[in-house]
């Protein structure tokens, strides 16, 4: 008996090692029951502890590497390679002046849009607070598109917070540690988001594929969809705020796994493979900064100013003709839709 054990000792060790890991894997696989769907992507405490233990060892060294890399790059860019900087500075200043003027106009439009949305009872989430984080590492594997950032729960980060760059969305926070966090990129196979095509307003589901590409799936064939069309977040997933750039359509093909649907392959708006800095959206709000409730009253001047106008030959705006016998179709005689309540008694005279 002893000789058999010593003879197959290494094979037994392999068997035990595989069995232990197999059991560990089995405990991590969630059954797709309705109750578990919301929790399906989260790790158990023991798995989180293993990830955290590795993070404690790996993250400080990666931060050191990143710091050294940035130091060397800054030394080169800021003190040695300064050719053309003055010209570039002048060009940027000009561009900045133009953008300031443009921004003022856009802010006015945005506030007005918000007022109109409020009148229609439409809720929109605006990005209110972000945390800038530096990418310090990756998963190092092509099976998993995960990046490590240098901000964690100490900086206010929480699981499922959206991560973006000024160009477009990156992904969402997957695991948060005190000083670092793992971000699941949009092109990972387990990632997903609700999206909408900008011009055709067709909604779909964004997913990553095995090759690390972004795909919009669950779409019925539609001739209106053309390569180059921009794709934005729809806000329907309750993770990403509405209207963030995702990418543009690169190609359209059949969805081989779900016929007769089609799948759109996207060119990501953010450079997912070479990220240096990202923004984590830690707070969203229903109002733009500076647009208080007082501004929410409909302003005829601003509303009319932005809408397409029609006028008489002498330039005066068209006014509705006063009715001879006012009825329920006459403007102003019916209360606004926002004031109507289901089951409420009819107003008098109707």
Output the CA torsion 34→36→41→44 (10° steps): 180
Q: Which is nearer to other proteins, 29 or 34 (CB)?
A: 29
Q: Which is nearer to other proteins, 42 or 284 (CB)?
A: 42
Surface-to-core class of residue 307, CB atoms within 10 Å of its CB (0-12 exposed, 13-18 middle, 19+ buried): exposed
Q: Which is nearer to other proteins, 118 or 151 (CB)?
A: 151
| Interface contacts to other proteins, rule CB under 8 A | 9-11, 13-14, 17-18, 21-22, 24-25, 28-29, 47, 50-51, 53-55, 57-58, 61-62, 65-66, 69, 135-148, 174-175, 182, 184, 188-190, 209-211, 257, 273-275
Count of beta carbons in the 10 Å neighbourhood of residue 268: 23
Q: Which is nearer to other proteins, 17 or 99 (CB)?
A: 17
Half-sphere exposure of 349 (CA within 13 A, CB side): 7
Residue 19 C-beta: closest distance to other proteins, Å: 10
Are 243 and 168 in contact by the 8 Å Cβ rule? The answer is no
Residue 185 C-beta: closest distance to other proteins, Å: 9
Q: Which is nearer to other proteins, 177 or 240 (CB)?
A: 177
Residue 142 C-beta: closest distance to other proteins, Å: 5
Q: What is the tally of helices (H) and strands (E) in the chain?
A: 6, 12
Residue 276 C-beta: closest distance to other proteins, Å: 8
Residue 99 C-beta: closest distance to other proteins, Å: 30
Q: Which is nearer to other proteins, 77 or 94 (CB)?
A: 77
235: left (phi over 0), alpha (psi -120 to 50) or beta: left
The closest of 42, 278, 277 to 169, measured between CA atoms, is: 278
Residue 11 C-beta: closest distance to other proteins, Å: 8
The closest of 261, 97, 266 to 168, measured between CA atoms, is: 266
Q: Which is nearer to other proteins, 17 or 340 (CB)?
A: 17
Residue 140 C-beta: closest distance to other proteins, Å: 4
The reply to whether omega before 3 is within 30° of 0 (cis) is no
The closest of 334, 14, 59 to 180, measured between CA atoms, is: 59
The closest of 138, 181, 159 to 275, measured between CA atoms, is: 138
Element (H, E) at 47: helix 45-75
């Amino acid at each position: 008996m002893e000789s058999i054990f010593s003879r197959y000792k290494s094979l037994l060790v392999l068997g035990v090692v595989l069995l232990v890991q197999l059991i560990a894997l089995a405990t991590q696989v969630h059954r797709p029951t309705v109750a578990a769907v919301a929790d399906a992507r989260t790790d158990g405490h023991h798995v989180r502890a293993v990830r955290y233990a590795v993070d404690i060892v790996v993250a400080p060294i990666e931060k050191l590497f990143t710091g050294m890399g940035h130091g060397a790059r800054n030394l080169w860019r800021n003190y040695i390679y300064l050719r053309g900087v003055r010209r570039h500075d002048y060009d940027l200043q000009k561009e900045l002046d133009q953008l300031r003027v443009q921004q003022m106009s856009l802010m006015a439009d945005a506030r007005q849009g918000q007022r109109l949305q409020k009148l229609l009872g439409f809720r929109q989430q605006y990005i209110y607070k972000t945390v800038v984080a530096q990418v310090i590492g990756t998963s190092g594997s092509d099976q998993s598109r995960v990046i490590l950032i240098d901000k964690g729960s100490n900086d206010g980060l929480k699981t499922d917070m959206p991560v973006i760059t000024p160009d477009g969305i990156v992904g969402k926070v997957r695991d948060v540690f005190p000083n670092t966090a793992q971000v699941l990129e949009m092109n990972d196979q387990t990632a997903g988001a609700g999206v909408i095509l900008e011009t055709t307003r067709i909604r779909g589901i964004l997913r990553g594929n095995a090759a690390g590409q972004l795909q919009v799936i669950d779409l019925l064939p539609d001739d209106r969809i053309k390569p180059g069309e921009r794709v934005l977040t729809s806000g329907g997933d309750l993770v990403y705020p509405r209207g963030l750039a995702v990418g543009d359509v690169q190609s359209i093909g059949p969805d081989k796994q779900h016929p007769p649907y089609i799948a759109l392959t996207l060119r990501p708006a953010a450079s997912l493979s070479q990220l240096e800095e990202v923004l984590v959206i830690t707070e969203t709000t229903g109002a733009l900064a500076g647009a208080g409730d007082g501004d929410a009253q409909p302003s005829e001047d601003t509303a009319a100013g932005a809408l397409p106008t029609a006028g008489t030959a002498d330039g005066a705006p068209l006014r509705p003709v006063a009715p001879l016998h006012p009825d329920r179709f006459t403007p102003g005689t019916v209360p606004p839709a926002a004031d109507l309540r289901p089951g409420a008694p009819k107003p008098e005279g109707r």
